[in-house]
Amino acid sequence: MKWIRSTRVRRICSREVLRIFMKRAEPGRVLMVELHCANFSAVTSTVSYISAMSRLIYLGAKNIAVQRFALPECLHVPVAAANEQAILDYVGQIKQVLASGQPNRAVLVEVDLPPQRDVRLPIWKEVNSPVLHKTEQVWVRFDYSGYRRAYKKAFPDEDISQMVLSHCMNRRHANIKGFRYVRIVPTSRATNSSSAFSEVWGIETNSKLIASRPPQRNQAHIQYADLVDLLVMLDLKVGGGVMETVNTAQQLITPKIS
């Protein structure tokens, strides 16, 4: 399939048309189109599609992960989504509804194969690193209180009796940013408690930032894990200050040259 000219796409583009174009792409080819969305206030958003993975890549989240968090592609881990459709588009297939509702309150998501690891990164030596791109993940509504029951339903053989279930993005933080679904993972109680300072700092910072933007600029489909999110998912205690946390995480994502 040949590249589609962005000028043509802007005239006829809709979510359904994009999918038709993308499904015709040859396996492994990356199709990129420019999409001018009204909800971005004349800001051009670029959408990528990798047909071999059958999943959209939201470049809004990708740019944040690269430019703000300095994370390589192999550490682009979705942790929050605007709705179920965003999960389907950018994360994976919903394998099981764990708690039904309108919308569903908890779902088990089967994700695609992750990007190839950069084996030079020390983070992959962490014992809990497989959890980052676990092929089956539990995603819950930010305001759902029965998430522990939902996780046990998804993984009945997993012993979490001595663990708490952490939301990979703080629930209040997710709500402020317009995300209705958050991934959950088991962590120790100490790790869960240690992230409180950084989470409060993030909530205060993002509340001010979002309040300063026009409402139409606040909508995003998904967000990848930031440095604090990654540490929590790895069940590593987060330091008492923002810079201490950043320094700890930075050591894990800095390539080691042998």
pLDDT digits (tens, 9 = 90+) for 41-96: 323 333 443 333 446 778 888 898 998 888 999 999 999 999 999 999 999 999 99
How would residue 192 be classed by pLDDT, with cut points 50, 70 and 90?
confident
In this structure, are 237 and 208 located in the same domain? yes
Whether residue 231 lies inside any domain: the answer is yes
In this structure, are 173 and 105 located in the same domain? yes
How would residue 20 be classed by pLDDT, with cut points 50, 70 and 90?
very low
Tens of pLDDT, residues 51-61: 334 467 788 88
Q: 2-30: string of b/e by CB count within 10 Å (b at 16+)? A: eebeeeebeeebeeeebeebbeebeeeee
Is this prediction's pTM over 0.75?
no
Whether residue 101 lies inside any domain: the answer is yes
In this structure, are 1 and 120 located in the same domain? no
In this structure, are 38 and 146 located in the same domain? no
Whether residue 200 lies inside any domain: the answer is yes
- Per the structure, the count of domains in the chain is 2
In this structure, are 77 and 173 located in the same domain? yes
Specify whether the CB–CB gap between 238 and 194 falls below 8 A.
Answer: yes
Specify whether the CB–CB gap between 251 and 120 falls below 8 A.
Answer: no
Range of the domain at 22: 1-52
Whether residue 42 lies inside any domain: the answer is yes
